[in-house]
Structure 1
Amino acid sequence: MNEVQPRLRPVLYNLGAFQTAPVAITSAGRSYLLAANESPLGPLPSVAAAIAAAIGRINRYPDGEVTTLTGDIARWLGTSPERVVVGAGSVAAIQMLFEAVCDPDTEAIYAWRSFEAYPVLAKLAGMRPVAVPLRDERHDLNAMAAAVTPQTRLIIVCNPNNPTGTVVLRGELEEFLDQVPPDCLVLFDEAYREYVRDTSVPDALTLAAGRPNVVVVRTFSKAFGLAGLRIGYLVAHPAVAAEVRKTRLPYSVSHLAQVAAASSLRAEEELLARVERTVKERERVRRALLDLGWSIPESEANFVWLRLNGESADFATTCTVNGLNVRVVPGEGVRVSIGDPGANDTFLEVAAAYQRHR
């Protein structure tokens, strides 16, 4: 007798679940985590102490409205709490925005390749994902504007872009925003904002002035080193933020995450000094790769992108053998996070040996 299967959403059957590769470890026990764009440094002592002090309250539900941290973020950004919505990571904040805009037969536009969660979130929300190819590893804003239809509800600009690390500049973005219908939301995903050193790249919050359709998402996972606690936020026009806030799952932002994020904001100067070290390592790694003959786009994030096309899987395997955990995009390239100097040196040694034998 055939077993009757419960009816689930058809979209799920063709939707690949996010998977992380097994951690690569050499026979000597070495492993370098360069796949997930995490900070290579642990929490600051002051942040660790705040987390330790808060553990005694994990038998209680966290502040469901995230009131204190929302106010802290707003003061830090120089904006009002009514514009800030905190979520369990920037991906959760983006998902909340998708839930707020989705309707049958609506569309979400994004560059491709970009952050791999975008098409998944669009499909889960019941929207049509519209992927616009990159041009020279950068967002093709003219093509994205041309892709807008009356069904378009959301456009995503990842700046710096993941996985290429490339950026789009103020003039380009202002011209693009002028072409977008004012009732269509434009989301700027700025997960890597703290690593940007090109002064032509705007803080997207400055683009929101006079544009109620601009939303900015950021995270504490990268520069602030809280990836394991899952906390991020979005900033939007108060009317938009009020509706997005309704989509947040109750108590989804843990107490420890709220405490750690607030403590991190108080330690901003110390944290940004760490970020500067990562930026310097990024530049060192990229220069070394260029000297080795690799073609590497300029990155404003905490990773570099190697466009390897058909060689991507082979290079990733070589990295794995040497204990280097990197992010491979089959048929396209490999993204390598900037780690500590020792990990970066190991990666450069592997890249040099691979280049010699290509």
Structure 2
Amino acid sequence: MTGPQPRRNVAAIPAYVAGKPPTVRPGMTSYKLSSNENPYPPLPGVVEAAHRAVEVMNRYPDMGSAALYDALSARLRVPVGDLAVATGSVALIYQLLNAFCEPGDEVVHAWRSFEAYPIAIAAAAATSVPVPVTADGRHDLDAMVAAIGPRTRCVMVCTPNNPTGPSVTQTELDALIARVPEEVLVVVDEAYVEFVRMDDRVDGVATYRAHPNVVLFRTFSKAYGLAGFRVGYAVAHEAVATALRAVSLPFGVSGVAQAAAIASLEAEPALLERVDALVAERARVTAGLREAGWDVPEPQGNFVWFELGERTAEFAAAADELGIVVRPFAGEGARVSVGEDEANDRLLRLAASFPR
């Protein structure tokens, strides 16, 4: 073949599969439960801040995101130099691997876990080392440690794990970090941290403070409801955070996104009341599923996981007929977001009627 050719690793990059929008059905309200979105609309103060930023869209945003860094620094009580913001926490995954992985270096991660991990690893010309989750959807941390080799540069810990739902405990995380070589980065991916309700929950900020090789990834997309604006941030010791900022896309976080994120931090008490409501609804859904005979993993995010194997597509089609769209993973299972009350009621009806 003649003409320019991309690097060989580009052909190996798997496609990211986004959650489908709901099917429009006459006379029926359809619901999207496929992307782990926050079902609540933005708070008025957040919308007003975004509108003010829109009025100056003819100007470039602050490339240094100074006001956002200051707000995050005050909220988390960490130095500004230990922060890096990007277009969603998924962008930080790409930045980290590009900054720290040479071609052929290895990245250990649970599987199934966040779909972007193998994509970003392949894009960095690194090698994915997937470690199967346990039967109840948890990270097999012993197996992950055993998978670390001389070329390992990073271990990804997704907690709560997307799409299966369970979180690691602080005790488990501490034991993992103690066994990881100090030159290997440990990423604690906390996209759903605000939804966690469990004993011995991870204190990510304290963990980063205690370990120079620990990096936290967080996002405004889920609990804060800014999925459409794409704002994520990392917390890491300055050398790592500096590397993340060095490989970031200039002007990557728009002025509107920065303004909305700052306003969301200011409105955090009201936003976290909504998170509490979603957690309560998650508990109702989980109890209903278990009453119907489903053995779902412990959900600590804003979603539940159905282990379905070859019946995954059938389950997704049945959900679609009821006006709810879920996220199927072919041959494995389906992830279903906790959404509006009516959408959750339909999920429970489906679970009660779907043959297992």
Bin for the TM-score computed over the shorter chain: over 0.9
Superposed displacement of residue 23, structure 1: 3.2
Q: Which amino acid aligns with 2:274?
A: R
Deviations 1:18-37 (A, max 9, x none): 23335323243421110000
In 2: Cα distance, 1:195 partner to 1:66 partner: 27
* 1:96-245 matched pairs, under 5 angstroms: 96-136=95-135, 137-245=137-245
Structure 2: tracts of 5 or more residues without a match = none
Superposed displacement of residue 4, structure 1: 3.5
Task: Count how many residue pairs are aligned between Structure 1 and Structure 2.
Answer: 354
Cα root mean square deviation, aligned = 1.2
Superposed displacement of residue 5, structure 1: 4.5
In 2: Cα distance, 1:239 partner to 1:14 partner: 31
Corresponding position of 2:299: 299
Q: 1:109·1:130 contact (CA, 8 Å) conserved in 2?
A: yes
In 2: Cα distance, 1:173 partner to 1:345 partner: 35
Corresponding position of 1:65: 64
In 2: Cα distance, 1:68 partner to 1:194 partner: 23
Q: Which amino acid aligns with 1:175?
A: A
In 1: Cα distance, 2:90 partner to 2:8 partner: 23
Residue 14 in 1 paired to residue 12 in 2? yes
SS of structure 1 residue aligned to 2:15:
coil
- What percentage of residue pairs aligned between the two structures are identical? 44
Q: 1:157·1:186 contact (CA, 8 Å) conserved in 2?
A: yes
Deviations 1:278-306 (A, max 9, x none): 00000000000000111111111100001
Higher mean alpha-carbon deviation, 73-82 vs 199-208, is at: 199-208
In 2: Cα distance, 1:224 partner to 1:352 partner: 32
In 1: Cα distance, 2:193 partner to 2:15 partner: 27
In 2: Cα distance, 1:54 partner to 1:323 partner: 36
In 2: Cα distance, 1:94 partner to 1:297 partner: 26
Structure 1: tracts of 5 or more residues without a match = none
Corresponding position of 1:312: 312
Q: 2:221·2:227 contact (CA, 8 Å) conserved in 1?
A: yes
Corresponding position of 1:339: 339
In 2: Cα distance, 1:104 partner to 1:325 partner: 38
Q: 1:51·1:256 contact (CA, 8 Å) conserved in 2?
A: yes
Superposed displacement of residue 322, structure 1: 1.7
In 1: Cα distance, 2:354 partner to 2:115 partner: 27
In 2: Cα distance, 1:323 partner to 1:243 partner: 45
* 1:252-271 matched pairs, under 5 angstroms: 252-271=252-271
In 2: Cα distance, 1:232 partner to 1:340 partner: 25
Q: Which amino acid aligns with 1:140?
A: D
Return the TM-score normalized by structure 2.
Answer: 0.97
Corresponding position of 2:287: 287
Higher mean alpha-carbon deviation, 93-102 vs 18-27, is at: 18-27
Return the TM-score normalized by structure 1.
Answer: 0.96
Deviations 1:90-116 (A, max 9, x none): 101121111111112211110000001
